[in-house]
Structure 1
């Protein structure tokens, strides 16, 4: 029960890595808000783990404000925020990515971190404590070709994590990031362009441990960084990548 009596918002939590994090947090004693643009999926997982469900578009200011208000109404505070929601554009030459695709990637992967911080940081400052975890990617450290603007959005997230950590440290708020390699999530097909045995083999050949990240891998790493065991850890971008970035 490493998160006993803690409260946590996890965005993009209806599936994939977010679901793995939400399940692990709940198993370790946290009260969890399962927040996702897929409101039905959020409700199903919240019912499973005994949490709260919240439909949210993390790129929309009003929607994020409503999410924070719902958490405040339910708990009176927010101890942990996990910015996990993310999207990508399909693999293609950088100049062929449309402006609409570019704007959507940065709205969901980057602007969302600003919007959630604007709502949650004041509550954490008032409490004198808090943990924020941004789910970035190995793409922000060791970019793959043809995913240029997705890579850039995750590099932005890593820099934002470090900037947030240094500014918020005096208030007792820790900010860290996770850099997963591609995993068995709804985004896998989008990263590869097509989900075939050949494409999977090509991806796996770049991961020394020879497998994809799993939601359970991410849940374990997120648990450590958001627990009091990591009370001296801030500004870290931890790779959970099977050696991909070595």
Structure 2
């Protein structure tokens, strides 16, 4: 397949999980990718494995200078930027709203909210001269409903949906489309950390809490991201695509209550989805 021949895409948090699956899928379909991540070992190994189609750039997505540098390197080494995937994320602040510290709140919002703003801002600057481009940001089922995630995470993911809608009209005038993907529970290193790294346990949990009764894999989310990046979605902008097995249409309660904070803390320092 060659849907992305001639395309250059940046994927933040691209060294593992949903980001890695997206990187691999883009390269498989002829595109070139800059993997922007803090995980140097994993990112370098993935880029080496994919050959000339991928490069790694150590990137703190909360740092504007790092985002600017990633965009500049992508265009210099791979070609004009045609796609941006704002994927990097953490679970972040957990526990009762009354016990959440300002420091934990700020860190969570920086990675899940400010980083998306920076990605959209600088991808747009790079794409405007070419009159085309596509941006996809990772929201969450927690970004379209309440009670599906920790409080700050839910707030930040609602913000991703809001920015996607807000920016769509402005960016349309430049020929740039912006959309979001809202995954439900997905089997990744981030979610496996909720069970102390037990992938089998998190797979069973996601399977049992999803109306379709099957676990969601990173490749399932990557497929939606690629659709929104591609010319097949040329008439789609400002949209949030739920890929959640029916969670957001179900009465099933998969909330993370404050009593779950002990297992959530295992994921507090992860930086990828």
TM-score (norm 2): 0.84
2:96 aligned residue (71, 93, 98): 93
Residue 84 of structure 2 aligns to a residue in which SS?
Answer: strand
- Distance in 2 of aligned mates of 1:35 and 1:89: 20
Q: How many residues of Structure 1 are paired with residues of Structure 2 in the alignment? A: 246
Tell me the CA shift for residue 16 of structure 1: 0.3
Moved >6 Å (runs of 4+):
196-200
Instruction: Name the CA distance, whole Å, in 2 between partners of 1:72 and 1:229.
Output: 24
Matches within 5 A, 1:70-81: 70-81=73-84
CA 190–98 in structure 1, closer or farther in 2 if over 3 Å, else same: farther
1:137 aligns with 2:140: yes
TM-score, length-scaled by structure 1: 0.93
Mark the CA change 1:18 to 1:220 in structure 2 (over 3 Å): closer, same or farther: same
Query: Is contact 2:14–2:23 with CA below 8 Å preserved after alignment?
Result: yes
Q: What CA distance in whole angstroms lies between the structure 2 residues aligned with 1:177 and 1:145? A: 17
Residue 229 (str. 1) matches residue 232 (str. 2): yes
Aligned counterpart, 2:256: none
Q: Post-superposition shift, 1:193?
A: 8.4
* Cα distance in 1, alignment partners of residues 199 and 42 from structure 2: 26
Distance in 1 of aligned mates of 2:150 and 2:195: 10
RMSD: 2.0
Look up the match of 1:40.
41
Deviation at 1:186, TM superposition (A): 2.0
Alignment of 1:156 with 2:159, yes or no, is yes
1:11 and 1:34 in contact (8 A); partners too: yes
In the other structure, the counterpart of 2:255 is none
1:19 aligned partner: 20
Q: How far apart in 2 are the matches of 1:231 and 1:189?
A: 35
The answer as to whether partners of 1:90 and 1:190 remain within 8 angstroms in 2 is no
| 8 Å CA contact retained: 1:192, 1:199 | yes
Question: How far, CA to CA, are the matches of 1:46 and 1:34 in structure 2?
Answer: 7
**Aligned in 2, Cα 1:101/1:127: closer, same or farther, shift over 3 Å?**
same
- 8 Å CA contact retained: 1:85, 1:108: yes
Question: Is the partner of 1:218 in helix, strand or coil?
Answer: helix
CA distance in 1, matches of 2:30, 2:5: 4
**Runs of 5+ in structure 1 lacking a partner?**
none
